[in-house]
Structure 1
Amino acid sequence: MKIAVLGAGAMGSLYGSFLSQSGADLWLIDIWKEHIEEIQKKGITIEEGEASYSIPVKATIDKSQVGPVDLLLIFVKSYQTKKALEDLSPLIGEETTFLTLQNGLGNDEAIVERYGQNAILAGTSSFGATLLGPGRIRVAGRGETTLGILRGATTESLEKVAQLFRQSQLNPRIEENVQGPIWDKLLVNVGINALTALMQIPNGRLLDHKGLLYLLEQAVREAEEVAKALQVPTSPQPVEKTKKIAQVTGHNFSSMYQDLHNGRRTEIDAINGKVAACAKSVGLPTPVNETLGLLIEAMTEVKQIKRNRSDT
């Protein structure tokens, strides 16, 4: 199988390096030149626990170098999705299947809107990874990959992808209604990501403060009510699940923390912001999610102003 991973950040690099060991013809594609050049020279260097190892992976900034693929795995940030989908013609053939494992909501809709004639899979990942620098990532934890049919794919093609993921130690789990797991992950993210980013703390510290714990609970409950109004089947007790994940990943820093800390744009619009937007469509109030979204936007602007001043 020929595979392209679009977006070679922490998770794209993790999945790309693991999938490359299965024998698939795999390419990583990204616009970060230094990152791609380092991968071309040394492969992806992975730190996991006390171990450090490198995996050779083909990488490029030029899509035309790759050609049409059987599977196109989308791992760009949610706010980059529409732009990234604009010029994929060198990668797309009649049999190309899309797979999005991105955070937040709206990514699958963007793919369907532009490439609905192709088979589209969607899902979530509970693996954890941090981008340390060009060509280097840290695996913070291994989990599973949820996969399901979004549009146009067959059960046979879904199982073929799942088998490839099994061979790559990416622990696939097939779901009949994949929107449920996507919302399950969203419910966790709305409770953890923005709060850890704003407070600049690892996940577990949320459980040490009554005020932060209250905000976590309220953010998740608001999102759960929105899911119910939209008739999305979610798992029971999402608040307790979110607390458990915060505890289990206690020393990890959320992706939103990493983005805000490193001066990058966050995915707040696809997480807490998307919950607030969906809530308005069904007439529900989501004051905590709205406030968290506004605070992240304000913090992002403040950091940008400070960077601009330091550069002058």
Structure 2
Amino acid sequence: MDVLVFGAGSLGSLVGGLLARDHSVTLVGRDPHIGAIAADGLAVTGAFDVRVTPDAVTAVPEDCAADLAVVTVKAHDTEAAAVALADCPLDAALSLQNGMGNEALLAEALDCPVLAGTCTYGALRDGPGTVTCTGVGEVVLGPREGGTSTTADAVGAAFDSAGFETTVAADMPRRLWEKLAVNAGINATTALARIENGALVDGPGTDAAAAAARETARAAREAGVDLTDEAAVAAVERVARATAANTSSMHQDVRDGRRTEIDAINGYVADRTDAPVNRTLAALVRAWEAGRGLR
């Protein structure tokens, strides 16, 4: 399969690097990372010990036809990704992004089926040309509206053949809301407190994370998706425990002085239901961003 990975940061590089073991992959990202890959290949370390030589470019090439585009940019860059890919002949696109609303933005611009996905593989970019897998997880994908499709089956088979733990799911709307509950509970809390994920298993931030997850579950139910408070809180605890030593993506963004995905996570929840905890977390992170000229 010809695969174009748009957003070759940490996760995009890991996904693209592992897919390149069995498929033809083009990574689209930024220098100096992309330049190093173009010159010497991509090293995947940590849970894997792989060196691959995917194509690496800083813009979507003119001859960009591909069987699959995997979108891994930050949520606030989804619209730009959609514009960049709009004229690219694609058989399918797959979002492996945080936050909600990414698939809808892509579907408005792309003339192909857009699949929803989640990825729990841990990724950390150590330097140009290298990405570390900090934990083996699972890729779950399926039609964004739910149900089944031959496109989802084909993409799932491509990930499976490349060695990913892969599930093709018929209930992606529920899975996306559950993932949002996890992100709402873990990301802003750890970013503001500057703590690792495991501190939310049993610590002062645990109640705040659980409250954010319950509010997300309420928003899901109001949107017609059956996600109980108990399931949302259990998902936060499960992920926090499994990734105890990890630094969340939003914590990494705050640490490195980058804009976060707060609008598509806690902000998304706060815009859709009575969610005082999510609203407060979003306001605090937005205040941090504003103070550093990131908004």
Q: How would you bin the TM-score normalised by the shorter chain? A: over 0.9
| 2:106 pairs with one of 102, 106, 111 | 111
| 2:190 pairs with one of 174, 188, 196 | 196
- Mapping 1:134-173, distance limit 5 Å: 134-150=128-144, 155-173=149-167
Corresponding residue for residue 33 of structure 2: 35
Residue identity in the other structure for 2:206: L
Residue 242 of structure 1 pairs with residue 220 of structure 2: no
The change in CA–CA distance for 1:153 and 1:44 in structure 2 (over 3 A counts) is: farther
Corresponding residue for residue 47 of structure 1: 45
| 2:218 pairs with one of 213, 225, 233 | 225
The answer as to whether partners of 2:17 and 2:44 remain within 8 angstroms in 1 is: no
Distance 1:91 1:152 in 2: 25
Q: Deviation above 4 Å: which 4+ runs of structure 1?
A: 151-154
Corresponding residue for residue 101 of structure 1: 96
Distance apart, 1:192 and its partner CA = 0.5
Residue 292 of structure 1 pairs with residue 281 of structure 2: yes
The change in CA–CA distance for 1:90 and 1:112 in structure 2 (over 3 A counts) is: closer
Corresponding residue for residue 14 of structure 2: 14
Distance 1:34 1:266 in 2: 21
The answer as to whether partners of 1:215 and 1:288 remain within 8 angstroms in 2 is: yes
TM-score (norm. length: structure 2): 0.93
Count of aligned positions: 293
The answer as to whether partners of 1:63 and 1:90 remain within 8 angstroms in 2 is: no
2:109 is paired with a residue whose SS is: helix
The change in CA–CA distance for 1:133 and 1:304 in structure 2 (over 3 A counts) is: farther
Distance 2:238 2:19 in 1: 29
Deviations 1:107-157 (A, max 9, x none): 011012222x42111111111111222222221111111111137997222
Corresponding residue for residue 310 of structure 1: none
2:144 is paired with a residue whose SS is: strand
Distance apart, 1:53 and its partner CA = 4.3
CA RMSD of aligned residues (A): 2.0
TM-score (norm. length: structure 1): 0.88
Higher normalized helix content (fraction of residues): 1
Distance 2:198 2:215 in 1: 21
Percent identity over the alignment is: 34
Distance 1:78 1:8 in 2: 14
The answer as to whether partners of 2:107 and 2:113 remain within 8 angstroms in 1 is: no
Residue 182 of structure 1 pairs with residue 167 of structure 2: no
- Mapping 1:55-74, distance limit 5 Å: 55-64=52-61, 66-74=63-71
Distance apart, 1:293 and its partner CA = 0.4
Distance apart, 1:171 and its partner CA = 1.4
Q: Which has the larger radius of gyration?
A: 1
The change in CA–CA distance for 1:152 and 1:242 in structure 2 (over 3 A counts) is: closer
The answer as to whether partners of 1:124 and 1:145 remain within 8 angstroms in 2 is: yes
1:91 is paired with a residue whose SS is: coil
Distance 2:87 2:114 in 1: 18
Distance 2:20 2:142 in 1: 22
Distance apart, 1:77 and its partner CA = 0.6
Distance 2:79 2:196 in 1: 30
The answer as to whether partners of 2:5 and 2:27 remain within 8 angstroms in 1 is: yes
Distance 2:160 2:244 in 1: 27
| 2:290 pairs with one of 277, 298, 301 | 301
Q: Which moved more, 1:7-16 or 1:232-241?
A: 232-241
